[in-house]
Structure 1
Amino acid sequence: MRLAYDLHIHSALSACSDKDMTPNNIVNMSLLKELDIIAVTDHNSAENLEAVVKCSLGKDILVVPGMEIETMEEIHVVCLFPGLDEANKMQEIVYSNLPSLKNREDIFGRQIILNEYDDELGSIDRFLLTAVGIPIEEVYRTVLSLNGVMIPAHIDRNSYSILSNLGSIPQHFGFKYLEVSKKACIETLKKQYPEVGECSLIVSSDAHSLPNISERESFIDIDEKSAECVISKIRNG
């Protein structure tokens, strides 16, 4: 089946996001835009995933649990998991490797935890928008051990991408999919980095506000509408 997706969306837990990026608003906007599959991928945290999944129950949309991790090399990677348990296990590992920095709400904004009714449960004082003390190799292995998949995020950007920070895409990872921004010049990217042409490309929104969530324009072909099928497709090609 051919399904429309957006696999990179931030909730109000990400300090850089609008505070109206609540679980219900994200799910309902995604439905209005006729998306079939979404992933909420907050920076280094999975605190709002359960609420988003609960909001999706009974609605014609699949929520894949996710997280955008900033590796030790300051590379952003989108990590997707088959369930909340796996995402929460990854969160424990990430939290144990986060530097002890306090969030400056006056500069970066609040990191808000919400329930499925969009009620505010509190906020995270620890600064999430930073690199964790885990190298990309270890993030890759850990996500794989949790039956998830790691995707290099927005590889066309001049910062926080695997190309900008490593200068190439190490072949031993065996990536089948790479994420690019909506406005990426694909042909220029492929000329500069031939290895990009060997992979399929995911175009997600990296939305930090409701209007920026993707329209029904990017599609994935899978046998079943499930997180496991999405992960298997991205991992195996």
Structure 2
Amino acid sequence: MYYDLHIHSALSPCSDDTMTIHNIFNMAYIKGLDLIAITDHNSLKQQYYLEKVIQSPILEGKINFIHGVELQSIENIHMLAYFQRGIDLKPIQQWIEQHLIKQENDCQYYGHQYIFDVNDEIEDEEQYLLLNSLRLNIYEIVEAIHRFQGIIILAHVLAQKYGIYEVYHGIPEDLDYDGIEVTCLKEYHDLKKLCPNVKDEYVFINSDAHQLEDIQEPIYTIDEDKLKRLWSQRICKKSL
């Protein structure tokens, strides 16, 4: 399956206002992707409408999605949390809101934080700035996401801003993450030299798109069964 599992909708203040749900799915379909994830900063509020949108006559049976969110730890590290379709997202959203550092969003400075309905109409606008951190460190976030039956991918690990390597000068070996995200294969090879013990069974190369044209071309693939095994392994660990 061709994928892009790091796409921001207009709910993320740093994203373009044209990043509506339908626009994202349609562009991903036009580009030839099979699987996407909308991963807004510190919010799942755009996720509630995805199921109905994907059942539209144009998209039904042509593209799939998983639920996602990009979380920011107190150390300013970005982490992608993914959840399977059908999971109850409301307790996870409540957990995020409980720990988000609250600051009123200045839409003139940071950008709007629009929530769209199934018709791409603006239903609401998030009042708290979603670019802030959660009051939790990376270990606490990983533990919580696993408790919610999600998986954790370390986002853009070598980025100078918000990447885990920049903060820790490595990747802690005792951190129970599930995979890593890099921007290209060269970055992955660079990471392996810097961190030979990195957990790399699951390596994702995503676009981190904030504009429609930035959504990834059909270049990188992932095996659907392998992705399902990742969730199964995590659920089994949780039950032990």
TM-score using structure 2 length: 0.88
SS at match of 2:2: strand
Alignment CA distance shift 1:111-1:184 (3 Å)? farther
Alignment CA distance shift 1:144-1:77 (3 Å)? same
With 180-189 and 112-121 compared, the bigger mean Cα shift is at 180-189
Deviation at 1:230, TM superposition (A): 6.8
Partner of 1:157: 159
Distance 2:199 2:87 in 1: 34
The equivalent position to 2:148 in structure 1, one of 146, 149, 158, is 146
SS at match of 2:180: strand
Deviation at 1:64, TM superposition (A): 0.5
Q: Tell me if the contact between 2:152 and 2:178 (Cα under 8 Å) persists in the aligned partners.
A: no
* Gaps in structure 2 of 5+ consecutive residues: none
Distance 2:141 2:199 in 1: 24
Partner of 1:232: 231
1:115 aligns with 2:117: yes
The equivalent position to 1:219 in structure 2, one of 218, 221, 225, is 221
Aligned length: 231
Alignment CA distance shift 1:78-1:149 (3 Å)? same
Partner of 2:67: 65
Distance 2:111 2:191 in 1: 33
Alignment CA distance shift 1:200-1:149 (3 Å)? closer
Pairwise CA RMSD:
2.2
Partner of 2:17: 19
With 91-100 and 18-27 compared, the bigger mean Cα shift is at 91-100
- Map 1:2-81 onto structure 2 (within 5 A): 3-57=1-55, 58-81=60-83
The equivalent position to 1:177 in structure 2, one of 172, 176, 179, is 179
Distance 1:45 1:142 in 2: 15
Alignment CA distance shift 1:171-1:16 (3 Å)? same
Alignment CA distance shift 1:97-1:86 (3 Å)? same
Deviation at 1:199, TM superposition (A): 4.4
Deviation at 1:132, TM superposition (A): 0.7
- Map 1:100-139 onto structure 2 (within 5 A): 100-139=102-141
TM-score using structure 1 length: 0.89
* Gaps in structure 1 of 5+ consecutive residues: none
1:46-69 deviation line (CA, Å, top 9, x unaligned): 111122332112242111011000
